[in-house]
Structure 1
Amino acid sequence: MSHIDYYFTVLSPWAFLAGARLEEMAAKHGATITYKPIDIGQLFARTGGTLPKDRHPSRMEYRMQELKRWSRVLGVEMNFNPAHWPTNGAPASYAIIAAQKEGGGDLGALVQGIMRAIWVEEKDIAQDQVVQDCLSAAGFSPSLAMSGLLVGAEVYPANLEDAVNAGVFGSPFYVCDDGEKFWGQDRLDLLDAHLATKG
């Protein structure tokens, strides 16, 4: 059985555009997923990346064109200038970590629900109530938003170390157990093809 470590920031529009395709591929190929939310600012600082606010205007103009293209191609509704972005992604990341440890709900739906809150619903995922609502909608106890703070605070920085050690430098980033790596939602078809060869 194949395994995928999925590294992402909950703030990533590209991870949002990935939707449920990773989960669908994993189900098709019998693969498992470990969700590893990370602090993208710290990852960029350690791997040579640049936060959007620090990028040249020409790069940001092209980024916006690409977001609009992919949103259209994928048929994904999206607000390209959300009211609450960027924001503090740690609380939502902690909740994902706690939910993964707790089990019992739909983790993929939780991750997608949190990102949808930013990119569609104009909500601030740094707010406890927003995170609690996302947990409930995905079948988890909303109390994980608070009870999961400790495990989240432990695992979140550990995920960053894992990411750096695995050669991760962006979001979304998919690392297979055989060492194959795929960066970006536009590489999911290649990941699908790779998983098919391992069946």
Structure 2
Amino acid sequence: MPHVDYYFSTLSPSAYLAGTRLEEISARHGADITYKPLDIMALFARTGGVPLGERHPNRQAYRAQDMARQAKRLNMPINVKPAFWPPNPAPSSYAIIAAQNVGGGDLGALSHSVLRALWVEEKNIADDTIIRDCLSAAGFDADLADSGLLSGAETYAANLEEAVGAGVFGAPFYIVDNGQMFWGQDRLDDLEAHLSGDL
């Protein structure tokens, strides 16, 4: 059975635009997924990336245009300037880590729900109430928002170290167990072709 390590940030518009395509691809090819939320700002600092606010205005303007185009192409709503930006991504990441450890719900739905709350619903994903709602909607116990915070923090930090060691430099980033790497929601078709043996 193929395996995909999925490195992402709950701040990432590209992770939002990926929707649930990773889960659909994995289901078609019998692959399992390990969700690895990480601190994207720390990843940028470690791998030569530049935080959005420090990018040249030309790059920021292009990013906003391209996000809107990609969302339209995918028939997905998006607010290119969310009301709560940037939120603290750690609480939502800890909740996803706790949910993965416990199991029993839909991790893809949970991750997408958090991203949708930020990029569509104008919600603060650092807010405990929002995180609890996302957990419940994905079939998890809402109390996971308040449990395992220490282990969540440790895993969150470990995910960053693992990502840097594995060659990750952005999000979303997908690594198949044979070492093939795919960066960005616009490479999901390539990931599927690879899993099919065509690429």
Q: Compute the displacement of 1:124 (Å).
A: 0.3
Q: Percent identity?
A: 63
Give, as a single letter, the amino acid of the residue that structure 2 aligns with 1:96. I
1:20-48, CA deviations, whole angstroms, 9 ceiling, x for partnerless residues? 00000000000000000000011000000
1:38-85 per-residue CA deviation (whole Å, 9 max, x = no partner) reads 000110000000010000000011111110110010000111111012
What residue is the counterpart of 1:125 in the other structure? 125
Which residue of the partner structure matches residue 59 of structure 1? 59
What aligned pairs does 1:1-150 form with structure 2 within 5 A after superposition?
Answer: 1-150=1-150
- Please report how far the alpha carbon of residue 128 of structure 1 lies from its aligned counterpart in structure 2 after TM superposition: 0.6
1:155-194 per-position Cα deviation (integer Å, ceiling 9, x unaligned): 0000001100000000000011000000000000000000
Q: CA deviation at 1:88?
A: 0.1
Q: Which amino acid aligns with 2:88?
A: N
C-alpha displacement of 1:151: 1.8
TM-score scaled by length of structure 1: 0.98
Provide the secondary structure at the position in 2 that maps to 1:43. Answer: helix
For residue 6 of structure 1, what is the amino acid of its counterpart? Answer: Y
The alignment of Structure 1 onto Structure 2 pairs a total of residues equal to 198
Whole-angstrom CA distance in 2 between matches of 1:20 and 1:137: 15
Per-residue deviation at 1:12?
A: 0.3
Q: Which contiguous aligned blocks of 4+ residues in structure 1 show a shift greater than 6 angstroms?
A: none
Paired with 1:75 and 1:30, the residues of 2 have a C-alpha distance of 27
CA offset at residue 126 of structure 1? 0.6
Q: Secondary structure at the match of 1:7?
A: strand
> What displacement does 1:150 show?
2.0
Distance of 2:151 and 2:139 partners within structure 1: 19
Q: CA deviation at 1:148?
A: 2.5
Unaligned runs of 5+ in 2: none
Is the partner of 1:143 in helix, strand or coil? helix
Residue 159 (structure 2) aligns with: 159
Summarize deviations over 1:76-117 as a string: whole Å, max 9, x none: 011111101211000000000000000000000000000010
* Aligned-partner Cα distance in 1 for 2:196–2:121: 35
Query: What residue identity is the alignment partner of 1:102?
Result: V
Shift of 1:144: 0.3
